Chains A and B, each alone.
Chain A
């Protein structure tokens, strides 16, 4: 055996190549330019501090004069999020199967579905909301349609990845015993992917609750419309009540989804 002193250890770090150095310098230059474009101004921030303090002081104590109408709007917001998420999840499952490498009928179908889902995901929520408000009018229906699209963009992609990552053995076993494809998907692929599907679905619900607040700002129903009105009328105390309600709603949904996640993952069938 050779003495360890005679052998050459590999370098701890590889020196960066010229391409990496150029790429890093390009990134630094672009970031510096972006800082200027973002309008970062310390002086404006300092000048704005008294206004922030004034608005914050106006928010205390939060107003309770429109408590019940606001609570009703919060409920509508949650209902929009729930219905939009559930419909989005139901539509995402077949799209994900068509987009998953191990279940797609053809690679062109997979590419087409992946492109469609990427497009849906790339269009911002507010753009979808404006589109649906223009199409079906003001109100929660436009918001719900927006959340359906938002959920599809999120869930179809992650569902497809979860389906691709499941262990292939159980599906192969059912194929070997002559089960039809529908049974292989229902009895092996989906149950194996279920923990990931449940996690993604519950995150989608939490995300939809947060998104649904903003949708009201463009007339797509829910508590966002109340928030916009309060801010426009300088009723910061009412705005504070709405922000607290939204905070409680999000905390409640996260707690419930965490509990549901644990219960659902323990179930057996």
Chain B
């Protein structure tokens, strides 16, 4: 197993400015308890697809949330491109977050609202207009854009449905469409297929993979499915024992090898 503790990936990476840089990030939830992880550092080049793996409680979701500042890290820095995220506040933080589409394990859609309205919400950071609150009052251009995002995940015919009438796989695809509405440069996905059946999970991962490839998006996803990590990622990061214990290209990895992260 390639083990690089706290270092930037040493495998061949695309050139140019990285999409995401994490430097010496540490997080402890309660004083006196051991850190979730400490001194985590890595850099993700633009367009790369990265899987984060690790056992329950290893801090995979916390790492993604700290990168978005949904959870405050105790120490360290996060950069989206050249922009330092740690330390930002208010509208500047909102603008930085708008660059990243975040897809959650439980979809986090607003169930009482329609599919189209949920997707429109993806545009709320760029255009802070109340007209994007509900599809019934949204400008025609935004409605068409939202429909186009839904078409990219093959859900345009369901745009008028309430999201609580959708299946888990459809809900997750709506969440992806909402992320696309942001026109992000990067997508973070926190166990996006954990609540889906195997076929729906494959469909959702395929959608991620196709979009990342077609639009040149950087993709960072947390997963327990090691086969997904190998199939849909270029690189795998492994959290274990409060540190970044693995950072390697997936081409060099096998499922048996990655199982070592769960020992």
From A169, A172, A177, A186, B125 is in contact (CB under 8 Å) with A177
Q: Which residues of A contact B108 (CB under 8 A)?
A: 169-170, 172-173
From B68, B98, B162, A268 is in contact (CB under 8 Å) with B162
Closest partner residue, chain A, to B111 (CB atom): A192
Q: Report the minimal beta-carbon distance from A93 to chain B, rounded to whole angstroms.
A: 15
In the complex, per-residue mask of A185-204: 1 if CB is within 8 Å of any chain B CB, else 0 = 01110011011000000000
Asked if A180 is at the interface (CB within 8 A of a chain B CB), the reply is: yes
Q: Which residues of B contact A174 (CB under 8 A)?
A: 121, 124
Q: Which residues of B contact A187 (CB under 8 A)?
A: 110, 113, 117, 121, 124, 133
Q: Which residues of A contact B175 (CB under 8 A)?
A: 173
**Quick check: A170 and B110 within 8 Å, CB to CB?**
yes
Asked if A26 is at the interface (CB within 8 A of a chain B CB), the reply is: no
Given contacts A178-B97, A180-B128, contact A173 B111 (CB under 8 A): no
Interface size class of B (residues with CB under 8 A): 35 or more
In this complex, how many residues of chain A approach chain B with their Cβ under 8 Å: the count is 22
Q: Which residues of A contact B121 (CB under 8 A)?
A: 174, 177, 179, 183, 187
Asked if B178 is at the interface (CB within 8 A of a chain A CB), the reply is: yes
Q: Report the minimal beta-carbon distance from A193 to chain B, rounded to whole angstroms.
A: 10
Q: Report the minimal beta-carbon distance from A131 to chain B, rounded to whole angstroms.
A: 38
Bound-state Cα–Cα, A3 to B253, Å: 48
Asked if B149 is at the interface (CB within 8 A of a chain A CB), the reply is: no
In the complex, per-residue mask of A55-85: 1 if CB is within 8 Å of any chain B CB, else 0 = 0000000000000000000000000000000
Bound-state Cα–Cα, A178 to B179, Å: 11
From B70, B95, B102, B110, A192 is in contact (CB under 8 Å) with B110
**Quick check: A183 and B133 within 8 Å, CB to CB?**
yes
**Quick check: B130 and A186 within 8 Å, CB to CB?**
yes
Asked if A176 is at the interface (CB within 8 A of a chain B CB), the reply is: yes
**Quick check: B135 and A269 within 8 Å, CB to CB?**
yes
**Quick check: A268 and B113 within 8 Å, CB to CB?**
yes
**Quick check: A172 and B98 within 8 Å, CB to CB?**
no
Bound-state Cα–Cα, A121 to B22, Å: 52
Asked if A175 is at the interface (CB within 8 A of a chain B CB), the reply is: yes
From B113, B122, B136, A177 is in contact (CB under 8 Å) with B122
Q: Report the minimal beta-carbon distance from A178 to chain B, rounded to whole angstroms.
A: 3
Bound-state Cα–Cα, A269 to B135, Å: 7
**Quick check: A176 and B113 within 8 Å, CB to CB?**
no
Given contacts A177-B124, A178-B124, contact A268 B95 (CB under 8 A): no
**Quick check: B122 and A192 within 8 Å, CB to CB?**
no
Bound-state Cα–Cα, A48 to B112, Å: 56
Q: List the 4 shortest-distance A-B pairs measured between CB atoms, nearest first.
A: A178-B125, A178-B98, A173-B108, A169-B108
Residues of B within 8 A of A (CB): 68, 70, 91, 93-98, 100-102, 104, 106-114, 117, 121-122, 124-125, 128, 130, 132-136, 160-162, 175, 178-179, 182
Q: Given contacts A170-B108, A170-B109, list 11 more A-B pairs with CB under 8 A.
A: A172-B108, A173-B102, A174-B121, A176-B70, A177-B125, A178-B93, A178-B96, A180-B124, A183-B121, A192-B112, A268-B114
Q: Could you list 26 A-B pairs, sorted by A, with CB under 8 Å?
A: A170-B108, A172-B104, A173-B104, A173-B108, A173-B109, A174-B124, A175-B97, A176-B68, A176-B100, A177-B98, A177-B101, A178-B94, A178-B96, A178-B98, A178-B182, A179-B124, A182-B130, A183-B121, A183-B130, A186-B133, A187-B117, A187-B124, A268-B114, A268-B160, A268-B161, A269-B136
